[in-house]
Structure 1
Amino acid sequence: MTGQWQELGTPGGIEAYVHRPAGEVRGAVVVCSELYGVNGYVRGICAELAGLGYAAVAPDFYWRDARRTELGYSAEEREAGLVLMRALDRDRLVADSAEALHLARAEARGRGVAFLGLSMGGHIAVRAATALRFELAAVFYPGWLLNSGMPLVGPVPPLESAERIAANGVYLLGFCGELDHILPPAEWQAAEQRLAEAGVSHELVTYPDARHGFACTDRPADHHPAAAADAWQRVHRALGELL
């Protein structure tokens, strides 16, 4: 099977890149991308998930401003991604996540649904968990969990509403590198405390000597093979147990 783009709801509305398993379906995963859009790295993750039996749905969260954005990791492309990211709106992201979840539920064929988020997408997955019911949020180096400052976050950062994650029954599995310049250790520790206080079932993992983006093979300066391998192993185990 190969992935393909399809509309999620209203004609002319949000699209997602969807990769379906060739055989038995073990559940579905909504893949929320980095600020670089649904690029080759994200589509590769979708293919890997489909190979494991999970229908993968990667929403194009930038669709209102630029369709099917696919950026690389150069400085210039990062700046282009930042422009698009700063235009995102919290409430629209929740609405788009709900559309993706609706399709994922149909694709899961009675099994569970996970949100898998990478950096910006990790933030989106955590935000979705405060508003929607699904089984697992697996997030790699998610930013702005406890601080606001841009439309993407809104006036209330997601972990201020962590009790809603607990109420929605979402298990939160998170990964961060010790050297992450966007999500420093003190903030990651504060996130751990907030989740515990709110009664969220969770596990947050920190990898020594790993940077932001450590899981991305297309970013050789940041990629940390051992950390990435361990994180993906944990994700696969959680998918198998919870979906």
Structure 2
Amino acid sequence: MDGSSKWIDIAVDDGSFGAYLALPRGGAGPGIVLLQEIFGVNAHIRSVAEQYAADGYVVLAPDLFWRQRPRVELGYDDASWAQAAQYMQQANLEQAQQDVGATAAVLRGLPGVGGKIAVLGFCFGGRLAYLAAANGDADAAIAYYGGRIQQHLERAGDIRIPLLMHFGGKDAHIPPEAVRSIAQAFDEHENVAIHLYQEAEHGFNCSHRASYHQRSAAQAHGESLIFLSEHL
């Protein structure tokens, strides 16, 4: 299974859900729980999983909307946005956090993962990555344009692991005052870093979206790889 990918099933108390597993060449390495946007484990998220697998990581991306519809896979047109927003409204944040924790536990138990793991998420998944850091689910966390993190700053004191957050300076969904409040909450946390990409909008990492910003995406990926190499 060197360098391969497949779906696996993860059992939880109220059922089971799929997770996309991408393996590096050799089949072993540190682990990454990869958390989707509101569009499901779609082609973009699978490509990110394979990118990090090529970088040497065992990547597991859970289907977080499985209670609404298994294996949601949406694009970025208006109809997909409307459907994604509906799934997001229906999702239970506590259950999603439990699913992330279950995924992390399964990832740690895979034969090729002998060391530490990180959680890395985008948008809705970025919010969950932040909460996973507070919950102690991983050894490091990365949040790309995590929506509504500013609503969970009471959890800032619970974060004991290294955390990296990427934000876009032109993100209409996460205004500058939200980024400032997040930065202020972590002002004295030496293990938390925030990077702001002035020309980037929401979703700047996704080449499937009109908001894709190649330079910011490349810079953020480079910073993420350095962060992962230092902490895993």
Do Structure 1 and Structure 2 share a fold, with TM-score over 0.5?
yes
State which of 214, 236, 240 in structure 1 corresponds to 2:225: 236
The AA in structure 1 aligned to 2:58 is A
The AA in structure 1 aligned to 2:159 is I
The AA in structure 1 aligned to 2:120 is L
The AA in structure 2 aligned to 1:226 is R
Question: Residue 115 of structure 2 corresponds to which residue in structure 1?
Answer: 111
Provide structure 2 residue ranges, at least 5 long, that are not aligned to the other structure: none
1:188 aligns with 2:179: yes
CA deviation vs aligned residue, 1:106-129 (integer Å, no higher than 9, x gap): 235321111111011000111111
CA deviation vs aligned residue, 1:96-151 (integer Å, no higher than 9, x gap): 0111101121235321111111011000111111112422111110011123xxxx
Is the 8 Å Cα contact of residues 163 and 200 (structure 1) preserved in structure 2? no
**What TM-score do the two structures reach when normalised by structure 1?**
0.89
RMSD: 1.5
1:56 aligns with 2:45: no
Evaluate the alpha carbon distance shift between residue 5 and residue 134 of structure 1 in structure 2; reply closer, same or farther with a 3 A threshold: same
CA deviation vs aligned residue, 1:173-200 (integer Å, no higher than 9, x gap): 1111111001111110110111225x36
- In structure 1, C-alpha distance between the alignment counterparts of 2:165 and 2:38, rounded to whole Å: 18
Question: Residue 153 of structure 1 corresponds to which residue in structure 2?
Answer: none
Deviation of 1:75 (Å): 1.0
Deviation of 1:202 (Å): 0.9
State the number of aligned residues: 228
Question: Residue 132 of structure 1 corresponds to which residue in structure 2?
Answer: 136
Question: Residue 96 of structure 1 corresponds to which residue in structure 2?
Answer: 99
- In structure 1, C-alpha distance between the alignment counterparts of 2:190 and 2:93, rounded to whole Å: 22
1:16 aligns with 2:14: no
Question: Residue 191 of structure 2 corresponds to which residue in structure 1?
Answer: 201
Evaluate the alpha carbon distance shift between residue 115 and residue 174 of structure 1 in structure 2; reply closer, same or farther with a 3 A threshold: same
State which of 154, 162, 167 in structure 1 corresponds to 2:156: 162
- In structure 2, C-alpha distance between the alignment counterparts of 1:91 and 1:224, rounded to whole Å: 32
CA deviation vs aligned residue, 1:64-112 (integer Å, no higher than 9, x gap): 1100010000011011001001111121112101111011212353211
Name the SS for the 1:206 alignment partner.
Answer: strand
- In structure 2, C-alpha distance between the alignment counterparts of 1:200 and 1:39, rounded to whole Å: 35
Evaluate the alpha carbon distance shift between residue 72 and residue 171 of structure 1 in structure 2; reply closer, same or farther with a 3 A threshold: same
Question: Residue 83 of structure 1 corresponds to which residue in structure 2?
Answer: 86
1:6 aligns with 2:36: no
Provide structure 1 residue ranges, at least 5 long, that are not aligned to the other structure: 148-156
1:144 aligns with 2:142: no
Deviation of 1:53 (Å): 1.4
Deviation of 1:24 (Å): 5.7
- In structure 1, C-alpha distance between the alignment counterparts of 2:216 and 2:113, rounded to whole Å: 32
Name the SS for the 1:146 alignment partner.
Answer: helix
Is the 8 Å Cα contact of residues 174 and 203 (structure 1) preserved in structure 2? yes
Question: Residue 150 of structure 1 corresponds to which residue in structure 2?
Answer: none
Equivalent positions of 1:34-45 (< 5 A) are 34-45=37-48
Is the 8 Å Cα contact of residues 162 and 200 (structure 1) preserved in structure 2? no
Evaluate the alpha carbon distance shift between residue 30 and residue 205 of structure 1 in structure 2; reply closer, same or farther with a 3 A threshold: same
Deviation of 1:218 (Å): 0.7
